[in-house]
Structure 1
Amino acid sequence: MSDAIVSVRAREVWDSRGLPTIEAEIRTACGSVGRGIAPAGASTGRREAVELRDGTGRLRGRGVRSAVARVHDLVSPALTGLDVADQAAVDAILDELDLDPQRSHIGGNTTTAVSLAVAHAAAASAGNMLCVDLASRIEYIPRPQIQIMGGGAHAAHRVAVQDFMAYPVAAQTIGQALTDVAETYLAVGDILRRRGVPRGVADEGGHWPEVVDTRDALEIVTEGIELAGYRPGADIAIALDIAATQFASADGYRVGGHLFDTAEWIDELGRLCDEFPITSIEDPASEDDPAGMALAVQRLGAVVVGDDFLVTDSSRVARAAADGQIGAALIKVNQAGTVTRAADAVTAARAAGIAVIVSARSGETEDVSVSHLATGWCADVVKVGSITRGERTAKWNELLRIDEEFGGLPLARPIGA
Structure 2
Amino acid sequence: MNNTIKSISSLEILDSRGNPTVRTYVELNNGIRSVASVPSGASTGKNEANELRDGGKRYGGKGVQKAVDNVNNHIAKVLIGKNVNDQKDIDYSMIELDGTDNKSKLGANAILGVSMAVAKAAAQSSGLPLYQYLGGVNSVRIPVPCMNILNGGEHADNSVDFQEFMLVPHGAPSFKEGLRYVAETFHVLKGVLKKKGLATSVGDEGGFAPNCESNEAAIELIIDAIEKTGYKPGIDLSIAIDSAANSFSPNLDDNYDLSWSGLGKMKTADLLEKSAEWIDKYPIILWEDPVSEGDWDGYVSFTKRFGDKIEVVGDDNFVTNTKYIKKGIELGACNSALIKLNQIGTVTETIEAVRMCREAGWRYFLSHRSGETEDTFLADFAVAMDGGHLKTGSACRGERIAKYNRLLEIENELRGRSEYRWK
- Is TM more than 0.5 here? yes
Deviation at 1:2, TM superposition (A): 5.3
Matches within 5 A, 1:324-335: 324-335=332-343
SS at match of 1:199: coil
Q: Is 1:276–2:303 an aligned residue pair?
A: no
Letter in 1 for 2:304: Q
> Would the aligned equivalents of 1:303 and 1:328 in 2 still touch at CA under 8 Å?
yes
Per the TM alignment, residue 377 of structure 1 is displaced from its structure 2 partner at its CA by: 1.1
Match of 1:95 in 2: 95
Separation of aligned partners in 2, 1:44 and 1:147: 18
Distance 1:202 1:375, change over 3 A: same
Cα gap change, 1:226 to 1:409, in 2 (>3 Å): farther
Name the CA distance, whole Å, in 2 between partners of 1:409 and 1:321. Answer: 33
Structure 2 gaps of 5+ residues are: none
Hey, what's the Cα distance between the residues in 2 that align with 1:374 and 1:357? 9
Query: Residue 358 of structure 1: CA displacement?
Result: 0.7
RMSD of aligned Cα (Å): 1.3
Match for residue 60 of structure 1? Answer: 60
SS at match of 2:386: coil
Distance verdict in 2 for CA 1:269–1:241, change over 3 Å: same
Residue type at the aligned position of 2:283: P
Q: Is the 8 A contact 1:67 1:110 kept in 2?
A: yes
Sort the Cα spacing of 1:388 and 1:145 in 2 relative to 1 into closer, same or farther, 3 A. Answer: same
Query: Is residue 381–residue 412 contact of structure 1 (8 Å, CA) maintained in 2?
Result: no
Q: Distance in 2 between matches of 1:158 and 1:177?
A: 30
Maintained 8 Å contact 1:173/1:409 = no
Query: 1:217-248, CA deviations, whole angstroms, 9 ceiling, x for partnerless residues?
Result: 00000111111000001110000011101111
Runs of 4+ that moved beyond 2 A: 408-413
2:353 aligned residue? 345
How far off is 1:408 after superposition?
Answer: 3.3
State the partner residue of 1:380.
Answer: 388
Contact 2:249 2:255 in 1 (8 A): yes
Show CA shifts across 1:159-206 (max 9, x none): 111000000011121110110001110111111011111231110011
Amino acid at match of 1:114: V
* Structure-2 residue corresponding to 1:185: 186
Structure 1 SS opposite 2:369: coil
Q: Tell me, yes or no, if the aligned pair for 2:157 and 2:209 is still in contact at 8 Å.
A: no
Q: Secondary structure at the match of 2:63?
A: coil
Match of 1:308 in 2: 316
Distance 1:400 1:199 in 2: 27
| Paired residues of 1:116 and 1:339 also in contact (CA < 8 A) | yes
1:254 aligns with 2:257: yes
Give the deviation of 1:109 after TM superposition.
0.9
Match of 1:21 in 2: 21
Residues 409 and 239 (structure 1), Cα distance of their counterparts in 2 relative to 1, 3 Å cut: farther
The question of whether the paired residues in 1 share the 8 Å contact of 2:174 and 2:420 is answered with: no
How far 1:319 sits from its partner (Å)? 2.5
Structure 1 unaligned regions, length at least 5: none
| 3-state DSSP of counterpart to 2:391 | strand
Aligned equivalents of 1:412, 1:92: Cα separation in 2: 34
Q: Match of 2:233?
A: 232
State the AA in 1 paired with 2:421.
R
SS state of the match for residue 249, structure 1?
coil
Note the C-alpha offset of 1:9: 0.2
Q: Which amino acid counterpart does residue 286 of structure 1 have in structure 2? A: S
User: Which residue of structure 1 aligns with residue 7 of structure 2?
Assistant: 7
**With structure 2 as the length reference, what TM-score do the two structures score?**
0.96
One-letter amino acid of the counterpart of residue 15, structure 1: D
1:217 match: secondary structure = helix
SS at match of 2:318: coil
2:100 counterpart letter in structure 1: D
> Residue 299 of structure 1 is aligned with which of 302, 305, 320?
305
Q: Does structure 1 residue 358 correspond to structure 2 residue 366?
A: yes
2:403 maps to 1:395? yes
- 1:53 shift after superposition: 1.0
User: Is 1:290 matched up with 2:296?
Assistant: yes
Matches within 5 A, 1:183-222: 183-222=184-223
The residue that corresponds to 1:72 in the other structure is 72
3-state DSSP of counterpart to 2:209:
strand
Task: Report SS of the residue matched to 2:303.
Answer: helix
Is the 8 Å Cα contact of residues 160 and 212 (structure 1) preserved in structure 2? no
Residue 412 of structure 2 corresponds to which residue in structure 1? 404
Q: Is contact 1:239–1:281 with CA below 8 Å preserved after alignment?
A: yes
Trace 1:99-178 onto structure 2 (pairs within 5 A). 99-136=99-136, 137-156=138-157, 158-178=159-179
The answer to whether the 8 Å contact 1:172/1:411 transfers is no
Preserved CA contact (<8 Å) 2:140 2:414:
no
Question: What is the alpha-carbon distance in structure 1 between the residues aligned to residue 379 and residue 213 of structure 2?
Answer: 32
Using structure 1 for the length normalisation, give the TM-score: 0.97
1:411, distance to aligned residue in structure 2 (A) = 4.3
**What is the alpha-carbon distance in structure 1 between the residues aligned to residue 395 and residue 200 of structure 2?**
17
Q: Percent identity?
A: 39
